[in-house]
Amino acid sequence: MCRVNNAPVVVLMLPFPAQGHLTPLLHFSRLLALRRLPVVFLGSSAHNRQAKLRLQGWDLASFPAISFHDLPLPACPIPDPDPESAVKFPAHLQPMFDVSDRVRDPLDQLLAKLSASSRRVAVVHDPLMSFAAELGSKYPNVEAFAFRCVSAFSSLSFQLNQQKDPKRVRPDLDLVSPEGCFTKEFLEFVRRRHHGVPLTKGEIFNTLDETEGEFVGRLSKMPQYRNRRIWGIGPIFPIQLEKSSGPKPDLLNWLDKQPERSVLYVSFGSISSLSLAQIHQLALGLERSGQRFLWVLHCADRGDIFMKTPDPEIRLPEGFQKRVAGSGLVVRGWAPQLEILSHGAVGGFLSHCGWNSCMESLSLGVPLATWPLHSDQPANAQLVTEVLKVGVVVRQWTGAGAGAAEEVVAAERIASAARRLMADTAEAIEIRNRSAKLRDAARRAWARAGSSSTALNSFVELVTRA
C-alpha cells in the first residue's frame, strides 16, 4: 500500500504490464530512491508481485523509499501463448493490455490524495499508459513523464518510416521494414493509448550518449519534442550487480567451470515462444556450431505468471542433451539474465533483441547474434549489427508480413552465425573490441559528469524544483 505521508515531492511509477516494461521502471525507481525521492510503484497485485520476484541486480529491501501500491484490475480471460502461431507478436496478451486502463478510477483517487498532501506529484508512466497524463492534467501540481522502454533508434525509425522519410534516421541506412512487427490490433491499441503522451513534460529513454546520442539528438528535433524534454538515462540497471543473497543457481556454478568468454548465451526474452520445428533447428544449430552454450528455454509469459497451469512440454531432438552434455546446458524456465551476462565465461548472446536484453548485453560488453521476432526487435537488431557493429545477424528481418516471422531459420545458418561470433577471426575480435568500448562507455555514463548521471540530475532537479 502507498506509504508516502506528506513528502514534498512524490513519484508514481505506472508501468505497462509486461516484463520488459516492468523491469526498467523498477530499476528507474531505484535510481530516484538513491536521489532521496519516495517512489510508489503501481500495478495489479500480480504484476507488482512479478516485478518484485524477477528483480535482479539489487535488493529491494535496502530501498524503503520504494513502496508498492496494488491497483485493482478486473479479471479477464487470457488465452495461453501459442508457440505454433505464425504471428510471433504475443497476441495472447492483448486482452490483458486492453483492460490495463481499468485502473483509471483508483489511480485518480490516489492522485487526488497525493496531490493534496504533496508539493508536487511526478507520474512516470509507460507511453502505453498515457491516460495517466490525462488524469494528472486535472491537478495543478501533478506532472507526467513518459518512460519509453524501447531504443531511441527504433522510436525514430518507426516515426520516420510512418512519415515515409526513412533516410532521415541516417542517410547510409536502409531501415528494416516495420511490416510484420505488430498485429493490427496492437497498432490500433498503440494509437489509442498514445493520446496522452503530448501532455507529458518529456520522455525518458533507457539509453546513453555513446550508444544512441545521435538518435536522441535527432528525435529531440522532431516537432512533438518542441516544448518537451528528452533524457537518455541508461543503462537503467546497476552495472555493478549486488551479490544475490539466495543460493547460487546451478547454471552459475556450471558457468564457473567454463573457460573465459567461451559460452554463447541463448534466450528469447519473456513474451515470445518459438515453434517446435524452430526449436529443433536451433538445437541442431547449436550442436553443429561446436560452441559451448547456455540456452534458456521457456514458453512466453502468460498474463498472470503465477497461474498454476504447467507450460506445454518442449521436446528437444532425440539424444541432443546427451550429445552436448558438458559443453551445452539447457535451462528450462526463468534465468537470472543479468548475472549470466555479467559472468566472465559468457562471450556472446544469441538474442531476440528486446531492448532490455540489448542494453544489458551492450553495457556488459557481450556481443550479440541477432534474431528478432517482432515489435521493436528488428530495429534494435539493425542498430546492433549495422550502426554499432557489435553483432552478427542470425535472422535477417524480411518484414513481408506478420507471417514472415514464421520462416524457420535453418540449423546451418544458426551454426555459422554462432561460430562467426565466438571465433577468433579478425572480424570477431573487432566486434569484441567495439563491445568492450561500449561497456566502458556505459560505466563512464554513470561516472560523476557522465551523460546518464547528468541526465538523471537534470530530471531530478526538474521534479524537485521549488
Binding interface with ligand UDP (CB under 6 A): 19-20, 23, 267, 269-272, 296, 334-338, 354-357, 360
Whether residue 126 lies in the annotated active site: yes
To the nearest whole angstrom, how small is the minimum distance from the Cβ of residue 412 to ligand UDP? 26
| 241: its cell numbers | 550487480
Alpha helices in 82-130 (DSSP H): 94-99, 104-117
| Helix, strand, coil percent content, the chain, rounded in steps of 5 | 45, 15, 40
Q: For residues 204-239, b (16+ Cβ closer than 10 Å) or e, as one string? A: bbbbbbbbbebbbebbeebeeeeebbbbbbbbbbbb
Whether residue 92 lies in the annotated active site: no
To the nearest whole angstrom, how small is the minimum distance from the Cβ of residue 238 to ligand UDP? 13
To the nearest whole angstrom, how small is the minimum distance from the Cβ of residue 185 to ligand UDP? 18
Nearer to ligand UDP, 107 or 296 (CB): 296
Instruction: Tell me how many degrees the CA angle 110-19-413 measures, rounded to the nearest 5.
Output: 160
To the nearest whole angstrom, how small is the minimum distance from the Cβ of residue 380 to ligand UDP? 9
CA distances, 439 to each of 93, 265, 269, 352, 410 (Å): 34, 18, 21, 20, 32
Would you call 74 exposed, middle or buried from its count of C-beta atoms within 10 A (0-12, 13-18, 19+)? exposed
To the nearest whole angstrom, how small is the minimum distance from the Cβ of residue 340 to ligand UDP? 8
DSSP state of 387: I
Nearer to ligand UDP, 244 or 454 (CB): 244
Q: CA-to-CA distance for 109 and 242, rounded, in angstroms?
A: 36
To the nearest whole angstrom, how small is the minimum distance from the Cβ of residue 328 to ligand UDP? 17
- 358 contact partners, CB below 8 Å, separation of at least 6: 151, 351, 368, 380, 383, 384
Helix, strand, or coil (residue 26) = helix
| 104: its cell numbers | 483509471
Say how many residues make up the chain: 466
Q: Which of 47, 69, 126, 301 is catalytic?
A: 126
User: Looking at the annotation, which residues are catalytic?
Assistant: 21, 126
